[in-house]
Structure 1
Amino acid sequence: MNFEHLKPSVLAALSTKELSREEKLKDLCQLLQDHISYYNWVGFYFANHDTKTLHLGPYVGAETDHTVIPFGKGICGQVAISDQNFVVPDVSAQDNYIACSFTVKSEIVVPLFVNGKNIGQIDIDSHVINPFTEADERFLEFVTQEVAKLY
């Protein structure tokens, strides 16, 4: 997939002056889900470094019970510690995976840095096995860099 054509839409979603930061992030999640067929759940988790937990922020997709995730737990929790992208081609092959839904087959998580500190992440679930490529990683790094400007 060529993500270049989506970049201007990402910038537009994040620069709408009339919307709050939360509304911009929700619109961004919706944009990504609407335009990338294998992005079936798109959301943000934000870190509380005092309690070493992640807290669910704006998202689109199926409801989730995972509103608070301890650092180290699941894919998101591991990214909170590693500060690295984590691509999971097949969630059934992961030992430290928190199952959100039986429909989720793969996941990609990219950390969100503000002034060099990991403040959260974008988390994307797919109903397809192994859809994520290096192009997804680079695009989501662009997305998180743009989101960081809101903080």
Structure 2
Amino acid sequence: MFEKLKSEATTILNTNDTVDERLLAICELLKENIAYYDWVGFYFKNSDKEELKLGPYAGAPTDHTIIPFGKGICGQVAVSNQNFVVPDVQAQDNYIACSITVKSEIVVPLFVNGENIGQIDIDSNTKDPFTDADERFLEFINEKVAEILT
């Protein structure tokens, strides 16, 4: 499944659409093709502020359009520069609930020229669905996204 999606994602990112249109298409591709990806979105560093700003996403609307560094899973990844997989969001102290249906989350940082400029965030209504294969796949997606942001 991931290999086919890698090819489709690469095709999307190589189009002449705007960056936001391509990122939205990636979010929709992942949400529609991976059963346990219930919300897929990008957050980006908000200029020189110590916060993330919501970018394109696919899924239910969220009130979390700005996330301070260090807050929630996304805010922690902005500081740690490390992937963060949460098998059970209820077991996390520093978690910002987007929806009562969300059971798990994975966040993978997005680097451009070695700098963490954002991340891809996936919420799942399934408990503990994410594997190493998801991490490697999302790292691949972010590497390809970085190419269109440079």
Q: TM-score, normalised by structure 2?
A: 0.98
**Which residue in the other structure is 1:52 paired with?**
50
- List 4+ stretches of structure 1 deviating above 2 A: none
Amino acid at match of 2:11: A
Segments of structure 1 that go 5 or more residues without pairing to the other structure are none
Q: RMSD of the TM alignment (CA)?
A: 0.8
Show CA shifts across 1:61-95 (max 9, x none): 00000000000000000000000000000000000
**Which residue in the other structure is 1:125 paired with?**
123
**Which residue in the other structure is 2:148 paired with?**
150
**Which residue in the other structure is 2:36 paired with?**
38
How many residue pairs match? The answer is 149
**Which residue in the other structure is 1:9 paired with?**
8
| Paired residue secondary structure (1:149) | helix
Q: For the residues of structure 2 that align with 1:5 and 1:20, how far apart are their CA atoms?
A: 23
Q: For the residues of structure 2 that align with 1:49 and 1:30, how far apart are their CA atoms?
A: 26
Show CA shifts across 1:69-127 (max 9, x none): 00000000000000000000000000000000000000000000000000000000000
Deviates more, 1:5-14 or 1:124-133: 5-14
Amino acid at match of 1:37: A
**Which residue in the other structure is 1:23 paired with?**
21
User: Displacement, 1:49?
Assistant: 5.6
**Which residue in the other structure is 1:74 paired with?**
72
Give the alignment partner of residue 96 of structure 1, picking from 91, 94, 97: 94
Q: For the residues of structure 2 that align with 1:28 and 1:60, how far apart are their CA atoms?
A: 9
Amino acid at match of 2:5: L
Identity over aligned pairs, percent: 66
